[in-house]
Amino acid sequence: MTGLRSPSGAGSGKASPRSFSDLIAKYYQTADFLGLKSSTKTTYRNMLERFREEHGDKSAARLERRHLKAIFAAKSETPAAANNLRDRLKALLDLAVDLEWRKENPIFTIKPLKVRSKGFHTWSEEEIDKFYAKYSLGTLAHTAMTLMLFTGAARADAVKLGKGNIQAGRISYRRQKTEDDGGVLIDIPIHPELRAVLDICPKNAFTFLETQNGKSRSPNGLGNMMREWCNEAGLPNCSSHGLRKAIARRLAEAGASPHEIMAVTGHLTLAEVTRYTMDANRPILADGAIEKLK
C-alpha cells in the first residue's frame, strides 16, 4: 500500500544458499534478464520455474556433468524443449561462475540433442481450401486466416494490425520479434483477396482482429482460437505459425527469390528462409528452373 515492492524472484528469501532456487532468484535480478522483452521474460520465467519445482533445492555449486546428462535424458522425447532448457541453464551456470560458486560451466560439455522435426507444419493448398470451406467471408476465423496468410504476420503482429497500418494500397508494420534491433520493416502491397476481407471490417475498428468489446486481442488468445478453428475444420496439424511457412512456400513456388521472400516474411537471414521453404513443391521449382535455361 505504501508502494514498497518485494525483491525480484519469488522465494528469493527462502532459498537455500547456492541452490538452484537461490541462483534463479539472483538471475531474475541480472541486467541480462531485466533487459529482455516482457514476452521473453515470461517464457524464460515459466521454463525456469518448472525447473525450480523439480530441482530448486539442489546445489548449483556442486552440479556435475552426470547430473546434466540425467536431466536431458529425461527429456529425450522432446529434444527441442530439452535444448531450450539447456540454453537457460547455460545462462544460470554462467552466473554461478560470475558469482564464484563454480570454476567452470559444465553445460559446454553437453551437446544439444538432435531435433529431427521440421518444426511447425506448413499448410498445404488442400488444407487452406478446407479451412475456407468451413469459415466463410465475414467470420473472425476467415479474417484472421486471410490476414496472416497474405501478410506472413506472426500472431503477435497480426493482432496489432489495423487501418492505421494501411496507406496507398500497402500494409506496413515492424515485426515485434525484431524490435530489439529496431524492428524489421514489412511494407507489402495488399493482395486482392486480403483487400476483400479488410474492406468489410467495421469502419470504426481499431484493429482488424479486435474483440467484441473493441479491445486488442492477445497473441495467445488468437493462437488458442486458431487451434479451436483448425480442430473444428479437421486440421489438427495446422496452426497459426504454419501460415508464415505457407506464404513462404507459396512465394517460392511462384518463383520469388530468397530476398523477395525475406522482404515479405521479415526474416533476417537466408538460412531462415531456407528452413521456411523446405516444403515448397520441388517439381514446380524444377519446372521454373529449367524454363530459365530455354
Query: Which pLDDT does position 180 carry in this prediction?
Result: 60
**Triad 20, 112, 21: Cα angle to 5°:** 5
Query: How far, CA to CA in Å, does 190 sit from each of 94, 114, 156, 219, 268?
Result: 47, 40, 19, 22, 22
The domain made up of 20-109 has a fold known as: DNA polymerase; domain 1 (1.10.150)
Query: Which pLDDT does position 75 carry in this prediction?
Result: 86
Query: How far, CA to CA in Å, does 79 sit from each of 85, 112, 135, 274?
Result: 10, 8, 35, 22
CATH H-level superfamily of 125-291: Intergrase catalytic core (1.10.443.10)
Query: Which pLDDT does position 162 carry in this prediction?
Result: 93
Query: Which pLDDT does position 141 carry in this prediction?
Result: 96
Q: Do residues 208 and 161 touch, judged by C-beta distance below 8 A?
A: yes
Query: Which pLDDT does position 181 carry in this prediction?
Result: 58
* Residues making up the chain, counted from first to last: 294
Query: Which pLDDT does position 6 carry in this prediction?
Result: 42
CATH 1.10.443.10 in the chain: give the residue spans: 125-291
**CA 25 to centroid of chain Cα atoms:** 26
Other Cβ atoms less than 10 A from the Cβ of 199: the count is 8
**CA 5 to centroid of chain Cα atoms:** 31
Q: What is the pTM of this model?
A: 0.66
Residuewise pLDDT in 10s, the chain (294 residues)? 344 444 444 444 567 899 999 999 999 999 999 988 887 898 899 999 999 999 999 999 999 999 999 999 888 888 888 899 999 999 999 999 999 999 999 999 988 888 765 678 899 999 999 999 999 999 999 999 999 999 999 999 999 999 999 999 999 999 887 666 567 889 999 999 999 999 999 888 889 999 988 888 999 999 999 999 999 999 999 999 899 999 999 998 888 888 999 899 988 888 888 877 877 777 777 777 677 766
CATH 1.10.150 in the chain: give the residue spans: 20-109
